[in-house]
Structure 1
Amino acid sequence: MGFGALFVDIDGTSLSDADRELLLRPQVAGVILFGRNTQSAEQTAQLAAAIHAVRDDLIVSVDQEGGRVQRLRDGVTRLPPMAALGRLYQRDAEKALYAAREVGYLMAAELRSLGVDLSFAPVLDLEYGRNTVIGDRAFAPKSDEIVALAGAFVAGMHEAGMAATGKHFPGHGWADADTHSSDAVDDRDFGEIWEQDLVPFRKLVDAGLDAVMPAHVLYPACSDQPAGFSSFWLQDVLRSRLAFEGVIFSDDLSMKAAHTAGGYAQRAEMALNAGCDVLLPCNNREGALEVVEYLVAKGFKPSPSLLSMRGKAIVHDKERLARGSVLCAELWQEVSDV
């Protein structure tokens, strides 16, 4: 059979016996942490160590984009929204690119020092002013600016020993809906998406982007399934046309926009058939267990490419980290002045 694996979540700030039992299942490849799991930097480090003690091959992940989406806040630098870098770019492109690299390094280095392997970043969506769930999570409204800033951010992540995940393929900025709570539709044709939203993905794939997370957005002019369930988007476009060889993570299979696929086993099947390597059934333990049993029954196994998602052991530059924290404070001024 093909490849298939799970990233699961846990309920609290430490592992329960039920958590440990689940993490021992070979179908589980990693854990995604949420705000409820990350009370402080010290506690998060202890939790990451406990997860790795269950199985040293497990990947500990989190959404640590900055701005509104920063799960761990206590004991680490408060990262600015990426739009702050975009605003700085309008005044001083060279300084903004330096800042993007340093913020990417800082974010990744702080997490790696705590034993966290992976942050699902950066966001590569264009900011059209239409989708509030994206909003200031996006670097900029123009694709060439996103390519430059996100490319620098990814370079910083790589220097800190962390792989980068571009999201939300092929672009979530136009669809005026939050896929966590409702269905999202983008009626534009493929040509327009290719020339605009797909540019950051195209360029960063060429530059060595490690992973991609698709959007739970339906593009009816291109496919009759949301991108995360669509072989057109994941195989024809991402794998074939863009020649992407990295890891494809599903977006959260518990989102409202994923419900059109049916139950959790059906969602898992559609995501894997479309081309996803890793499934994220978040905030629903029964759903996660349903996916485990589906993977067992079908004989799926984790992809060896997941090894590239594990954090690398790197000695980090303390002076660089300190400069990055000061830089983040300056970048917050970029958005507070608006």
Structure 2
Amino acid sequence: MSTNIPYGPLMIDVEGLSLTEADKRRLQHPLVGGVILFSRNYKDPVQLSALTQEIADLRHPPLPITVDHEGGRVQRFREGFTRLPAMRVLGELFAQDPIAAEDAAEAVGLVLASELRAHGVDFSFTPVLDLDWGRSGVIGDRSFSKDPQIVARLAAALIRGLSKGGMGSCGKHFPGHGWVEADSHVAIPVDERTMAEIEIDMQPYHELSLDAVMPAHVIYPVLDERPAGFSPRWLEKLRLECQFDGIIFSDDLSMEGASVAGTIVDRANAAWDAGCDVLLVCNKPDFVDELLAQWQPVAQPKRAARIPNLLGQPGLGQAHPLTRAQLEAHADYQAALKRIQAL
């Protein structure tokens, strides 16, 4: 039976292919407001649907269920899902035929969103808006292009496809992760550029209508000695200069790039005080348990009110979510799939 609990600011992961008793305990805690899935949570489409239904049945309203499902190297569900291209493929196509590239980007967004929605997943952390400066291995072909205008145009097309498929968008990693060589998963990157140089990376955030943004675990000393996700100055810049009023996610607080803030409770306080609405804590159940036992953030109703916007919609103009069989029979999905297969 579901439990009526308001949305909290933590987004956490689960152990495996179905919920353990420890998973259920954590997900029913009032500090938790969402779930992120990984490859270890996926066997096949039937199992995924069962897992997302199990999560949905725990609470009312249901917890938003999210995943990193960009395409290319970062696609958590593969067998039984369409293999989506790396975003660089779309950028290369843009150099030959901009209209065809935008059409393909919209098709990718539609297929990405509608397939996930057919299996109970609400939201994917995409698109990547980082510029490909040719320096970052962790970004690399996840980026559309080095040109911010191309990134903005292709991201806008992909977002249109996501919306048609019933899903919102998340731009990452603000203000830009493409210049630094270090990987914030295992290091603490520092971007020593001037503000004028960093502003080039920020251009897509000025131009796009995004539902969510994820700041980078990167330090930009020109404005603050703290990583962007722990910096009130950078997040205020996002809110005011980019006129962004959607959800701000912290990047994973378990990553090495977050370690500068201290313990997991210190990291949560730093991200929360900086202005992040939802804090990701992944692959460290002991960190989650520590937060659930010790962290006591001051309630912020305005922030909590943003979280339901992560919940997916039926998509493709339908009043109710499509099953996978119904999706595969839909003409718009079939056309988008053909467009992707032609890349």
User: What's the TM-score bracket when you normalise by the shorter of the two chains?
Assistant: over 0.9
1:123 aligns with one of 128, 152, 155? 128
Deviation of 1:222 (Å)? 1.6
Structure 1 residues 216 and 143 mapped into 2: Cα distance closer, same or farther (>3 Å)? same
Moved more, 237-246 or 104-113: 237-246
Q: CA deviation at 1:327?
A: 2.4
Does residue 11 in structure 1 map to residue 15 in structure 2? yes
User: Structure 1 residues 286-295 or 148-157, which shifts more?
Assistant: 286-295
1:281 deviates by 1.0
Determine if contact 2:8/2:30 at 8 Å carries over to the other structure: no
For residues 128-207 of structure 1, what are the structure 2 equivalents within 5 Å?
128-194=133-199, 196-204=200-208
Deviation (angstroms), 1:61: 0.3
Q: CA deviation digits over 1:195-224, x for unaligned, max 9?
A: x100011111xxx21000000001111211
Q: Specify the SS of the correspondent of 1:250.
A: coil
Instruction: Give the counterpart of 1:32 among 16, 29, 36.
Output: 36
How many Å separate the matches in 2 of 1:297 and 1:68?
35
Counterparts in 2 of 1:321 and 1:77: CA distance versus 1, 3 Å = same
Equivalent position to 2:331, from 306, 316, 319: 319
What is the rounded CA distance, in whole Å, between the counterparts of 2:291 and 2:155 in structure 1? 33
* Structure 2 letter corresponding to 1:127: D
In 1, are the aligned partners of 2:12 and 2:280 still within 8 Å (CA)? Answer: yes
Letter in 2 for 1:27: L
Amino acid at match of 2:338: V
Contact 1:45 1:115 in 2 (8 A): yes
How many pairs does the alignment contain?
Answer: 324
Q: Deviations over 1:288-338 (max 9, x none)?
A: 12222344465567611111111012336622222322322332xxxxxxx
1:246-300 per-residue CA deviation (whole Å, 9 max, x = no partner) reads 0000000011111010010000000011110000111001111222234446556
Q: In 2, Cα distance between the equivalents of 1:141 and 1:238?
A: 21
Greater CA drift, 316-325 or 162-171: 316-325
Q: Letter of the aligned partner of 1:325 in structure 2?
A: L
- 1:80-112 C-alpha deviation (Å, 9 max, x unpaired): 001110011011111111111111011000000
- The residue aligned with 1:216 is 217
Aligned pair in 2 of structure 1 residues 284, 110: CA closer, same or farther (>3 Å)? same
Q: For residues 227-250 of structure 1, what are the alpha-carbon distances to aligned partners after superposition, in whole Å with 9 as ceiling and x for unaligned?
A: 010011002x01122221000000
Note if contact 2:128-2:171 (Cα within 8 Å) is conserved in structure 1.
Answer: yes
Deviation at 1:120, TM superposition (A): 0.4
Alpha-carbon distance change, 297 to 228 in structure 1, aligned in 2, over 3 angstroms: closer
Over 3 Å counting, the alpha-carbon distance change for 1:226 and 1:4 in structure 2 is farther
Is the 1:48–1:60 Cα contact (8 Å) retained in structure 2? Answer: yes
Which residue identity lines up with residue 259 of structure 2 in the other structure? H
CA RMSD of aligned residues (A): 1.5
Question: Once the 2 structures are TM-superposed, how far is the Cα of residue 4 of structure 1 from its aligned partner?
Answer: 5.8
* Matched residue SS, 1:65: strand
Contact persistence 2:8–2:32 (CA under 8 A): no
Give distance in 1, aligned partners of 2:121 and 2:131: 28
SS in 2 for 1:7: strand
State the alpha-carbon separation in 1 of the partners of residues 167 and 297 from structure 2.
33
Residues 129, 155 of structure 2: 8 Å contact kept: yes
Kept after mapping to 2: 8 A contact 1:33/1:61: yes
Check if 1:95 corresponds to 2:100. Answer: yes
RCO higher in structure (CA 8 A, sep ≥6): 1
Give the match's secondary structure for 2:36. Answer: strand
1:84 is aligned, of 84, 89, 95, to: 89
Could you say what secondary structure the match of 2:244 adopts?
Answer: coil
Q: Percent identity?
A: 44
Output the CA distance in 2 between the equivalents of 1:117 and 1:147: 23
Match of 1:70 among 72, 75, 93: 75
Task: Provide the C-alpha distance between the structure 1 equivalents of 2:148 and 2:39, rounded to a whole number of angstroms.
Answer: 31
Residue 262 of structure 2 aligns with which residue? 262
Contact 2:170 2:214 in 1 (8 A): yes
Question: What corresponds to 1:244 in structure 2?
Answer: 244
Q: Gaps (5+ residues) in structure 2?
A: 1-6
